[in-house]
């Protein structure tokens, strides 16, 4: 008789085949991209992560890929550099994504930084750094500041090292999600809240994405209803399903459906701009439209507004 792990692997394999064969529908919820501004600073030449501040209206957080110091940058919605934040207690081996979401203190907003890159699939663990979101003003530049120290959430994959560039924080449950990049059928992994700071947490594979997407970034809307993921060949949005039926072993009254169940629904393609090496994507502060930005020297910040008179999808 197969054990629980073997059964889970078999079910995920069947899900992979099902999702791989599914076609994308097209979403009409978003307008084409509008260029907001060009990043003029040479310090921001390899932008890999992008997140809209919850604490500071009009502020976006970005970071470079590997090779930079452990720091993030604040820009505004005109792509103007506001300042840099050096993060105590963190190391930048290969940062690939950034997210904003809730954390241990319910009255604070937190930044999450994913040190997830592993092109050769050789590192025994990956680290997500967590720290309270600092204060910034979208109209005011500031000298470099120090923030932290960061909490280090050490994660291991259940099926060996993976290269990943997508970090998502569920705003309703505080669960962390990582999505593998180089698997032909990308794998979605979860670390349920609360994540340990004392020992490694083994990720759980919970879903798969469509065949050949090669994800490079993602985000969830602040209300937890929609998930966006962009990859090398396009971007898509998924809707989180609502609770249906009586409570059972998987959910209680009032509990949200697990975010990963969104990926069992049909993916809807969303527009992207023609970027030289577009990797980063995030919802705006209201969860209505979304921003994208590319690696490379002097990248353009794009915004894709919600189409008026259309329901959110």
Cis link prior to 149 (omega < 30° from 0)? Answer: yes
In a domain, residue 18? The reply is no
pLDDT at res. 67? 81
In a domain, residue 5? The reply is no
In a domain, residue 9? The reply is no
In a domain, residue 4? The reply is no
In a domain, residue 167? The reply is yes
Q: Are 34 and 289 in contact (CB under 8 A)?
A: no
In a domain, residue 176? The reply is yes
In a domain, residue 240? The reply is yes
**pLDDT score of 311 more than 90:** no
SS3 of residue 83 by DSSP: strand
pLDDT tens readout for residues 95-131: 999 999 999 999 999 999 999 999 999 999 999 999 9
Domain hosting 97: range is: 25-304
**pLDDT score of 251 more than 70:** no
Q: Categorise residue 56: left if φ over 0, alpha if ψ from -120 to 50, beta otherwise.
A: beta
Specify the number of domains making up the chain.
Answer: 1
**pLDDT score of 7 more than 70:** no
Mean of per-residue pLDDT scores for the chain: 90
Neighbours of 197 (CB within 10 A): 12
Q: What CATH number is attached to the domain comprising 90? A: 2.115.10
pLDDT at res. 255? 83
The angle formed by the CA atoms of residues 49, 95 and 302, to the nearest 5 degrees, is 15
Q: Are 228 and 283 in contact (CB under 8 A)?
A: yes
Q: Are 165 and 140 in contact (CB under 8 A)?
A: no
pTM for this predicted structure: 0.90
Interatomic CA distance for residues 111 and 54, integer angstroms? 10
């Amino acid at each position: 008789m197969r054990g629980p792990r073997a059964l889970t692997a078999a079910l995920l394999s069947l899900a992979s085949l099902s999702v791989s064969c599914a076609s994308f529908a097209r979403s009409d919820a978003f307008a084409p991209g509008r260029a907001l501004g060009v990043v003029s600073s040479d310090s921001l030449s390899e932008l890999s992560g992008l997140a809209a501040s919850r604490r500071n209206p009009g502020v976006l957080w970005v970071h470079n890929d590997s090779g930079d110091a452990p720091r993030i940058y604040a820009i505004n919605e005109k792509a103007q550099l506001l300042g840099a934040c050096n993060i105590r207690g963190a190391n930048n081996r290969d940062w690939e994504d950034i997210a904003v979401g809730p954390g241990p203190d319910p009255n604070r907003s937190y930044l999450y930084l994913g040190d997830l890159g592993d092109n050769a699939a050789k590192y025994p663990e990956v680290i997500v750094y967590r720290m309270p979101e600092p204060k910034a003003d979208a109209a005011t530049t500031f000298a470099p500041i120090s923030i932290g120290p960061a909490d280090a959430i050490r994660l291991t994959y259940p099926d060996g090292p993976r290269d990943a560039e997508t970090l998502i924080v569920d705003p309703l449950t505080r669960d962390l999600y990582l999505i593998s990049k180089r698997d032909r059928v990308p794998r979605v992994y979860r670390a349920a809240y609360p994540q340990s700071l004392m020992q490694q947490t083994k990720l759980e594979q919970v879903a798969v994405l469509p065949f050949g997407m090669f994800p490079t970034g993602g985000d969830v809307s602040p209300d937890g209803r929609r998930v966006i993921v962009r990859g090398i060949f396009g971007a898509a949005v998924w809707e989180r399903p609502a609770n249906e039926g009586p409570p059972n072993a998987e959910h209680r009254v009032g509990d949200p459906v697990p975010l990963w169940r969104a990926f069992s629904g049909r993916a809807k393609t969303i527009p992207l701009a023609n970027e030289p090496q577009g990797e980063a994507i995030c919802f705006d502060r209201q969860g209505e439209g979304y921003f994208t930005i590319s690696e490379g020297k002097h990248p353009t910040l794009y915004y894709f507004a919600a189409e008026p008179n259309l329901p959110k999808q």
